[in-house]
Amino acid sequence: MPWVSLLILVPLAAAVVLGVLPARERRAARGVALIGSLATLAISIIVVALFDRDLAVMQQVDHLDWIPAAGVSWDVGVDGISIWLVLLTTVIFTLGTIAACQRLPERRGPAFLGLIMLAQAALLGLFTAGDLILFYVFWEFMLIPFALLIWNWGGDDRRGAGMIFVVYTMAGSLLMLVAIIATALTAMDATGELSFLIRDMQGVAFGEATSTILLAGFLIAFAIKIPLWPFHGWLPRAYSQAPIVVTILLAAVMSKAGVYGLLRIGVPVFPEGIGNLLIPVAILALIGIVYGSLLAWRAPTMRLLVGYSSVAHLGFIVLGIIVIDRMAAQGAVLQMINHGIVAAAAFAVVMMISRGTGTGDMDRLGGLAKGAPRLAVAFLFVTMAALALPGSNAFVGEFFILGGVFDQYAWMAVIAMLGVIYAAVYMLRMYQGTMNGPVRGVQDDGRAAEMGARDAIILVPLILMMVWIALWPGSLVGATRASTDLALAPAQVAEGRPVEQIGVLPARAAATPATDPAERP
């Protein structure tokens, strides 16, 4: 069975069904959405089960020509970099769909769920695309459902927020389209064949100058989507105006699109260019870590706090990828998953608190733990994970990243360390400000916000996943290692890194056994 293709087509089909459903059929809409997302989740579990963790290249590939004359094809598959992102997407979207079904918007319920399904199809397509044009198609297409969700069901400033979100992202991505075309045509000069397959482009020597320019075209698009400082202008408005379920999806899953692109395309296809842009990008990531943390510290609302903390966390992930170190890259992939889970959980807590108290303003909240002890426990757990307390899942990821960065550029690790400290400051501010202290609640002491069974369905699976990763990070990292090694190797060679740091030498990828970076002296 073409499971990976089904992964995209099943939510797409669910979206079409929801699209034609009359607005009053809200019961049927819930059913279709839940079946659609659970079916997608099941397919993603099958894909994970069939996954061969020792294989570095794309596997379970479905290939079908679309426009052969232009070298464009439907080419989807998974590898170590994408496999866990696929699972993260299906899990978070299943939980998001459940949350959306619990409080379906009054107007046009099926459309709301249909757009969520559409966004899921686009994101799964993005994480599995093996063809640059297909990658671009999904990259752009995901904008439509997210923008419509913000426009139709967002807060008071939804129009402006949605428009800024779309225009920012489009600005980067259309330049990426030009870069994609230029890349394929430059590669054609070398190989004599027009192809947009990412695997065909790896190994094409573009030359240092060309490689740098082409990479810069991609990087702008990635930087906006991530968002990397100073391209984060759309984030605060979009995150605070979107319906909270959509904010969960944006922060947990969509924010991974940019960093994924960097690791999937940026590093392996343009190894020569990475060397030139390594320091500038790393500096932007470091500024993002510090700047995002400071903004999060003083953020007036819970949503903005979590949103700005995302800027900081994604700065870590970018840093982990861009220093082209094996350990840091594995940490970056792990941290993508961790951040997805933690951000989803943090926004879910925000959702419960704002629903119960009617506000998300830090100033108007306090002492909720008294009336909502169960929520307080869950929140504390999420807080600990978000500030990467040793023993939490995020600690493992950040440790890998910082360790790898320290090996390459010690000064970067020192600056990045600030982010870890700030994280404790702003996360504890959020927890203490809302849960402890005097009751400042608008209505009561938090009883209305207490976690009930319906909230637990969403929060408990996320917490279980955090525990799983904290205890067995190897179960994830083991599957990603071969692919990240392969992705980094050309750039490491181009940078002239010592041979013992390189996992696989590009020329004899199969012959060199990969060694665990954790065992490195």
Partner 1 sequence: MNAGAALTLYVMSAVTVAAIVLAVVPLPASARRLPEAIGMAGIIATLAITVTQWGERQVAFSGELRIDRFGLLMTWVIMIAALATLLLGWGEPAAAGRRREFTGLVLAAATGMMLTVMSGDLITLFIGIELLSVSLYILCAMEVARERSLESGLKYLITGSIGTALLVYGFALLYGVTGTTSLAGIATRLDSVGGLASDPLLIASIVLIVVALGFKASAVPFHMWTPDVYEGAPTPVTAFMGTGTKAAAMGAFLLLFTGATSQASGDWRGLIGALAVATMVVGNVGALLQDNVKRMLAWSSIAQAGYLLIGVAVGTTAGAEALIYYLFAYVAMTLAAFAIVILREREVEDGDRLVAMAGYGRVRPWAGVVMTLAMVSLAGFPPFAGFVGKFLLFGSAVDAGMTWLAIVGAVASVISVAYYLRVVIVMWGPPADNRSTVRRLRVPPAVATVAVAGAVAIIGLAIAAQPMLDLCADAARALIIP
Nearer to partner 1, 188 or 439 (CB): 188
Q: Assess 193 for contact with partner 1 (CB under 8 A).
A: no
Q: How far is the CB of 357 from partner 1 (least distance, A)?
A: 28
Sign of the CA dihedral with 164 first, then 166, 172, and 175 last? negative
CB of 143 to partner 1, least distance (A): 7
Smallest distance, Å, CB 151 to partner 1? Answer: 5
Is-contact 326 404, C-beta < 8 A? yes
Shortest Cβ 23–partner 1 spacing (Å):
8
Stretch that binds partner 1, among 36-44, 174-182, 248-256, 287-295 (CB under 8 A): 174-182
Instruction: Answer yes or no: are the C-beta atoms of 287 and 243 closer than 8 Å.
Output: no
Question: Could you tell me how many residues of this chain bind partner 1 (CB under 8 A)?
Answer: 36
Q: Give the nearer residue to partner 1 in terms of CB position, either 108 or 313.
A: 108
DSSP string, 290-331: HHHHHHHHT-SBHHHHHHHHHHHHHHHHHHHHHTT-HHHHHH
Tokens of residue 111, six digits: 């459309």
Of 3 and 66, nearer to partner 1 (C-beta) is 66
Q: Residue from 45, 171, 190, 467 that binds partner 1 (CB under 8 A)?
A: 171
Of the candidate spans 6-14, 80-88, 158-166, 306-314, the one that interacts with partner 1 by CB under 8 A turns out to be 158-166
Distance CA 283, CA 229 (A): 10
Among 76, 86, 129, 147, binds partner 1 (CB under 8 A): 147
Asked whether position 190 contacts partner 1 by CB under 8 A, the answer is: no
Out of 3, 13, 35, 151, the only residue in the binding site for partner 1 (CB under 8 A) is 151
Nearest CA among 324, 170, 187, 339 for reference residue 250: 339
Given the complex with partner 1, which of 4 and 304 has the nearer CB atom?
A: 4
Q: Cβ(464)–Cβ(35) under 8 Å?
A: no
Euclidean distance between CA atoms 394 and 194, whole angstroms:
42
Q: Is 219 in the site for partner 1 (CB under 8 A)?
A: no
Our CB check for partner 1 shows the closer of 122 and 306 to be 122
DSSP letter for 262, please.
Answer: I
- By the rule CB under 8 A, 16 interacts with partner 1: no
19-58 mask for partner 1 (x: CB under 8 A)?
x---------------------------------------
Among 182, 220, 377, 456, binds partner 1 (CB under 8 A): 182
Return the number of the residue (67 or 190) whose C-beta is nearest partner 1: 67
Amino acid letter, 426: Y
How far apart (Å, rounded) are the C-alpha atoms in residues 474 and 471?
9
Instruction: Restricting to residues 61-120, name those near partner 1 by CB under 8 A.
Output: 65-70, 72, 107-108
CB 400, CB 331: distance < 8 Å? yes
Say how far apart CA 56 and CA 59 lie, in whole Å: 9
Q: Would you count residue 178 as binding partner 1 (CB under 8 A)?
A: yes
Q: Is 380 in the site for partner 1 (CB under 8 A)?
A: no
Element containing residue 352 per DSSP (H, E): helix 326-357
DSSP 8-state code for residue 73: E
Give the DSSP H/E element, type plus range, for residue 62.
strand 59-67
Task: Give counts: helices (H), strands (E), the chain.
Answer: 21, 2
Q: Is 181 in the site for partner 1 (CB under 8 A)?
A: yes
Cβ contacts of 443 within 8 Å, gap of 6 or more = 357, 358
**H-run or E-run covering 394:** helix 393-408
Least gap, CB of 262 to partner 1 (angstroms): 20
Residues that bind partner 1 (CB under 8 A): 19, 65-70, 72, 107-108, 133, 136-138, 140-141, 143-144, 147-148, 151-152, 159, 162-163, 166-167, 170-171, 174-175, 177-178, 181-182, 185
